[in-house]
Amino acid sequence: MVDDRRAASALVVHEVVRRQGIEELDRPAASLMWSGITAGIVIGLSLLGKALMETAVPPGAWTPLLQSLGYSIGFVVVILGRMQLFTESTLSAVLPLATDPSGRNLARTLRLWGIVLFANLIGTLAFAGFAMFGGLGAEQAAALVEVSGVVTKHVEMHGFLAGIPSGILLASVVWTLPSVEGQKVTLIVLLAGLIDLGGFAHVVAGSAEMWVLLLHGDLGAGGALAFFFPVLFGNIVGGSVLFALLAHAQVRTEIEER
């Protein structure tokens, strides 16, 4: 009875997430690609949800909070649907490497990251193309462009710094999910919503905004690159260097003693 009510230990959570990471690392490239493309398309729902809140809710003190709820929709579907999202992999795919550092595991991690990130970008481009070329009404498309304007603020060092909290928040979702049966949606809504509410930057959801502005002609290739790479590195630092390695450090001695 007591054991049933105890929260899972850090060692147990680490092992659950590590095994998830191994499963991801072992998936065929084609499976990763299709799952990543699907995740990229679906994460566009975050941008769409925020844009629809923009058109449906009168401006007021609660507007940013409601928009952040809309922003979380894509993350809920992607994470609970077990689709391949790059920023989740900054934790799950790194724990096997941290537990067993080797050139082979490093190569497997980089392979996963490369395939999933590329696939996510294809998916977000597909979403943006559909939205901007007839998939939405004029009012919704205009709102989509308006909420995407935040991309122009997340450039260079600002983008890097804004990407770190997002990496930490998404890694926190992955780390915490095994312990919150029955409350997973609430957890994802709260932590993913904080990305938007805090003005942070997420490389995949942000790439949907980037594509929208590129297709609309409001952003050039140079501006897109100035956004994409700093935010990408910020997400990696937040999810892998900070969260994943610290999460591993707290159980490293226990793992070695087993």
* Rounded distance between C-alpha atoms, residue 143 and residue 149, angstroms: 10
pLDDT of residue 257: 67
Which residues in 45-79 are b (16+ Cβ under 10 Å) and which e?
bbbbbbbbbbeeeeeeeeeeebbbbbbbbbbbbbb
Mean pLDDT value across residues 114-124: 98
For the domain that residue 68 is a member of, what is the CATH number? Answer: 1.20.1080.10
pLDDT of residue 246: 87
Residue 182 burial (CB < 10 Å; 0-12/13-18/19+)?
exposed
CA atoms within 13 A on the CB side of 90: 30
Tell if the pTM clears 0.85, that is, is over it: yes
Which residues in 1-14 are b (16+ Cβ under 10 Å) and which e?
eeeeeeeeeeeebb
Model confidence at 1, in pLDDT bands (50, 70, 90)?
very low
CB 68 within 8 A of CB 166: no
Q: Residue 151 to residues 93, 122, 207, 210: CA-CA distances in angstroms? A: 27, 18, 9, 6
pLDDT of residue 250: 87
Structure tokens at 68: 């952040």
Domain that holds residue 39: 2-257
pLDDT of residue 6: 54
pLDDT digits (tens, 9 = 90+) for 136-193: 888 899 999 999 988 888 888 999 999 999 999 999 999 999 888 889 999 999 999 9
Mean pLDDT (the chain) is 91
How many structural domains comprise the chain? 1
* Rounded distance between C-alpha atoms, residue 33 and residue 36, angstroms: 5
> What length is written for the chain?
258
